[in-house]
A and B are shown apart, each in its own frame.
Chain A
Amino acid sequence: GENVEQHPSTLSVQEGDSAVIKCTYSDSASNYFPWYKQELGKRPQLIIDIRSNVGEKKDQRIAVTLNKTAKHFSLHITETQPEDSAVYFCAASGTGTASKLTFGTGTRLQVTL
């Protein structure tokens, strides 16, 4: 089955700096890669996703890049703000698994003033 690894496990940045979180996956058939943000005690919320037919996607301060050859994808947050502090999870799925998501272990992002 799919295996997703995520790094780093914790990340501390100063407000206004950029943050980058990286994930690798094992199943070359995976073709959908969402990122979820989870605040303490809350539901995971989708913040951005990318499909295998594109290499990069951007939404305001958030961007995701995908390298299918290397089987890795990354989340980039620019101009970080204190409200970006949360746990971020990457995930991967393929059409053959009915969009069942396999999650990484999460990155705790702390944005300090």
Chain B
Amino acid sequence: DTGVSQDPRHKITKRGQNVTFRCDPISEHNRLYWYRQTLGQGPEFLTYFQNEAQLEKSRLLSDRFSAERPKGSFSTLEIQRTEQGDSAMYLCASSDLQGARNTIYFGEGSWLTVV
């Protein structure tokens, strides 16, 4: 168990540019979640996958945001035409549907700064 890993850890981009974050969940975890966290706030749910199927998206996820998990393993979160309000930490998490506890484990996050 190597934990949830995210890349890049930090990204500074100019407004209007596109950015993509990658998440590698804990091996064999079939659920993968994306959350967003701003300073002083708790993580806010964005979307989740069960295997390769995206089963729920938050209203927070505007049309500029898209997430994929093509093979049911790693996932990408793309933000198009970034805005300053997109600056936040994007957290990926995973859990094992088969596990009795279904505990959600978080990655270290990808910090996005839009200038």
Contacts and interface: CB of A to CB of B under 8 A. Distances in A.
A99 B50 contact: no
B45 A100 contact: yes
A42 B114 CA distance: 20
Interface of A: 4, 6, 32, 34, 36, 42-46, 49, 89, 91, 97-106
Contact of B101 (A49, A91, A97): A49
Interface of B: 4, 31, 33, 40-45, 48, 50, 55-56, 91, 95, 101-109
Contact of B106 (A32, A44, A102, A106): A44
B43 A89 contact: yes
A103 B103 contact: no
Contacts of A104: 42
A6 B31 CA distance: 27
Given A6-B42, A43-B91, A100-B56, 8 more contacts: A4-B42, A43-B108, A45-B106, A46-B103, A98-B31, A98-B50, A103-B42, A105-B40
Closest 5 CB pairs of A and B: A103-B42, A43-B106, A43-B108, A89-B42, A44-B106
A53 to B, nearest CB: 13
Interface centre among B33, B45, B95, B105 (most CB of A within 10 A): B45
